Amino acid sequence: MGNNATRVWLNKRLDGKTALITGSNTGIGKATAKELYRSGARVIMACRDVEKAKTALSEIQKEVGNQENVGELVIKQLNLGSFSSIRQCADEINRQEEKVHFLINNAGIMMCPKGKTVDGYELHFGVNHLGHFLLTCLLLPKIISSAPARIINVSSTIYKQGEIRWDDYNFDKGRYSAIGAYAQSKLANVLFTMELAKKLKDKGVVVYSLHPGVVKTELGRHMDETYFRGLRWVSSVLFGPFFRTPDEGAMTTLYCVLKDDEDFSGCYFSDCKVNETNLEQQHGEAAKKLWNLSSKLVNYDVNLD
């Protein structure tokens, strides 16, 4: 990924810009919030647990210290497993914020035991995809009016092993697979990015998906209850030396926010560069189909005319 000396884009100022980051109380999201705050942006930390978000906010301010020209940190409560919570959060942002220049759909869950969201959808599909889909759609008018703007969807390289179970996205039939459910949701992130980029082609808004790398975060906190007690510890011992820190893992997200790569809207990034550019040929029809399905499931149809 190179060293900081080669990342001149990290020096870009974001004074007067507003960024909303989901899941920014920990891990990559928190690291992203810290850097955008350092760059002068107004950062909205949209988190499920407000108390944890308050702790993260204080830690970010302490770490950044007394640097000049920092931005502002604001907390919003957001439960991506509840359409009602998403609508309430989006309504507050649409009413209270003049602009939203960057939407970073970062929050996610991984390897959870079988379960459902408040609205009855498989947890990974509901939180990682449908929740962000609805939030993004509800904020689109605000984002478009803030152009030039960017939407970044944090996915994972495991999307390549995923498939959309069109007739059983909830895993109601047959055996449940936590890995399969997670991979399906990460593929959905990529497909959503592709179709959204097409719909926003002439709107001044670019859309990227990305793989942050294998990062040491709280994302794997459910592994023990899903498989067996001690698995998370074993994984950290065996693979910990190869994990990236949250600050390192946030680099590709920051690249997508700060670097001038508008020509790559709809593409998938990894290690601070475009990783996949022929997604349309592979997944174009699936992306359109998923958009239509998702609109139906969240009961919201976007009109961009």
Catalytic site residues? 182
CB atoms within 10 A of CB 109: 20
Burial environment of residue 207 by CB neighbours within 10 A (0 to 12, 13 to 18, 19 or more): buried
Separation between Cα atoms, residue 30 and residue 53, nearest integer Å: 9
256-290 in b/e form (b: 16+ CB < 10 A) is bbbbebeebbbbbbbebeeebeebeeebeebbeeb
Closest CA to 96 of 68, 118, 72: 72
3-state SS, residue 252: helix
- Kindly state the helix (H) or strand (E) to which residue 291 belongs, with its residue range: helix 279-298
Separation between Cα atoms, residue 267 and residue 89, nearest integer Å: 28
Query: What are the C-alpha distances in Å from 270 to residues 84, 171, 290?
Result: 33, 29, 23
Separation between Cα atoms, residue 254 and residue 102, nearest integer Å: 11
Provide the total of helices (H) and of strands (E) in the chain, helices listed first. Answer: 11, 8
102-105 vs 42-47, strand pairing mode = unpaired
- Kindly state the helix (H) or strand (E) to which residue 105 belongs, with its residue range: strand 102-105
Q: Let me know the angle formed at the C-alpha of 31 by 246 and 217, rounded to the nearest 5 degrees.
A: 35
Query: What are the C-alpha distances in Å from 158 to residues 8, 37, 186?
Result: 30, 30, 7
3-state SS, residue 101: coil
